[in-house]
Amino acid sequence: MKKCFLKVWSFYYDGFREMTLGRVLWAIILIKLFIMFVVLRVFFFPDFVATHATEGDEARFVGEELMERRAP
């Protein structure tokens, strides 16, 4: 099992080490993920429950909101 893991690790390690264009593509992917999960969350998805519910009463607030907004 350990030998198999080492072979797989060596395969991926050598592959990533020898990349040229792939490094640029991975950098672009990581930058896009950072923008999606950090920047967009901060500016477009504020913490609505924390601003509208009192401390310790968040569950009741969410339950009431779900019941009010359900389809008739």
d(CA 51, CA 26): 37
Please compute the mean of the pLDDT values over residues 43-70 and round it to a whole number: 87
**Buried b or exposed e, range 46-64, using 16+ CB within 10 angstroms:** eeeeeeebeeeeeeeeeee
Instruction: State pLDDT tens for residues 31-55.
Output: 999 998 888 888 888 888 888 888 8
Alpha helical stretches, state H, 18-71: 21-34, 40-44, 48-52, 58-69
Q: What is the pLDDT of residue 32?
A: 94
3 or 1, greater pLDDT = 3
Q: Which residues have CB under 8 Å from 49's CB, separation 6+?
A: 58, 61, 62
**Residue 6: what pLDDT?**
93
> What per-residue confidence (pLDDT) applies to 72?
65
Q: What is the pLDDT of residue 4?
A: 93
